[in-house]
Amino acid sequence: MQSIDDFNFRNRKALIRVDFNVPLNSDLKVTDETRIKAAIPTLRKIIDEGGSAILMSHLGRPKEGPEHRFSLQHVIPNLSEKLGVEVKFVDDCIGEKAEEMSKELATGEVLLLENVRFYKEETKGDEAFAESLSRLGDIYVNDAFGTAHRAHASTTVAAKFFQDKCCGYIMKAELENASKVVEHADKPFTAIMGGAKISDKILIIERLLDKVDNLIIGGGMSYTFFKAMGGNIGNSLVEEDNLELAKSLIAKAKEKGVNLELPKDSVVADKFDNEARQNVCDNYAIEDGWMGLDIGPEAIEVFSRIVAESKTILWNGPMGVFEMSNFAKGTNAIAQAVVKTTRQGGFSLIGGGDSAAAINNLGYGDQVSYVSTGGGALLEFMEGKVLPGVAALEE
């Protein structure tokens, strides 16, 4: 696979798949610029070398064609400010108007196309739609790692219409950092898995059991393990149909000599509410009517010690309902432990999605080794799956 550094973009029109699927508030203002900021180095390289950039992305999940709230025009003010260039916008992504504006683009100019998902053909990976997109540039750059696991028109199929194609800096860094953790991790290697469901993480957990020294499990998924081991988990989240799966993962970890560490205690609440009554209790003995919403102080202490003794850390998923301030202590404590280990020379990769949001919201984004922009794509890559968006650049 060639990267952006293998090309000079002088007088080239680069068609770039970026990931500007950013959160917007009720006033349609961007609330988290992480993905926009991440794209800037790739865009700067292209325009600084005398090329022009035509950007395509999706935003949200529009159901039936164009919807104003999912228009990429809302991203323009933030993108123009971060890039230091007045970004142009076209209210379509294919057709005469888009082709005309792309053609007229001068050196150093940037054009943002309208949301590619306003066409159903995008997610279907439609070839004719991809060919229409390909008419807008003469070199294809994919820098949207977050959608690399989708075989969509703009992320995968469009690449086949280009002789020159490459990955941008985000895609390159994502693949390098993920490979470093999966293939070349310094020991001890600790994976921290959180979030609500085991079923979402089963493949990655099974693959990691062949690679890690420690597997820490927190978040809602831990209660399925405790119930599987005969514990009373009260009203905590549980996947009844995955109790046998939890038991088999415990057995596999033992068989492979992996230290599978579950939280010893939880902060429990009498309802799913930030203002609920709270208590701390052992995870084998949560009373009926109470639910675990965060890891407890003993779990924080044990998990932090394991993190401190690690050389490589992969973190994917929060330790509790961190969106509620009263149940964010566990996630915050683990974030601080990961930062401390990184400062002391450890390597830390933060999986996308909620873990990335937690790290960034705490202001620790620049104090860990790498924060991934791709939740699902990172997991699939680590599960050993071929990512269509990556494979398309290698053909």
Query: Mind listing the pLDDT tens digit for each residue in 153-184?
Result: 999 999 999 999 999 999 999 999 999 998 89
Question: What is the per-residue DSSP string for 262-273?
Answer: --SEEEEESSSS
Q: Are 115 and 94 in contact, with CB atoms under 8 Å apart? A: no
Residue 84: pLDDT over 80: yes
3-state helix, strand, coil in the chain (%, to 5): 40, 15, 40
Backbone torsion region of residue 281, taken as left when φ is above 0, otherwise alpha when ψ lies between -120 and 50, otherwise beta:
beta
For tokens 């890690």, name the residue: 212
Q: How many CB atoms are closer than 10 A to CB 173? A: 18
Residue 188 bridge partners (DSSP)? none
pLDDT-based confidence at 376, cuts 50/70/90? confident
Q: What is the mean pLDDT of the chain?
A: 95
CA distances from 62 to 112, 153, 169, 259, 318 (A): 18, 16, 28, 44, 28
CA distances from 59 to 67, 181, 195, 367 (A): 10, 30, 24, 29
Token pair of 37 as six digits: 């900021």
Whole-angstrom distance, CA of residue 264 vs CA of residue 299: 5
Cα pseudo-dihedral 297, 303, 307, 308, rounded to 10: 50
Active-site annotation, residues = 35, 197, 353, 376
Cis peptide before 388 (omega within 30 of 0): no
pLDDT-based confidence at 359, cuts 50/70/90? confident
Using CB atoms within 10 Å of the CB of residue 187, give its burial: 0 to 12 exposed, 13 to 18 middle, 19+ buried.
Answer: exposed
Query: Mind listing the pLDDT tens digit for each residue in 271-309?
Result: 999 999 999 999 999 999 999 999 999 999 999 999 999
CA distances from 282 to 10, 225, 243 (A): 63, 14, 19
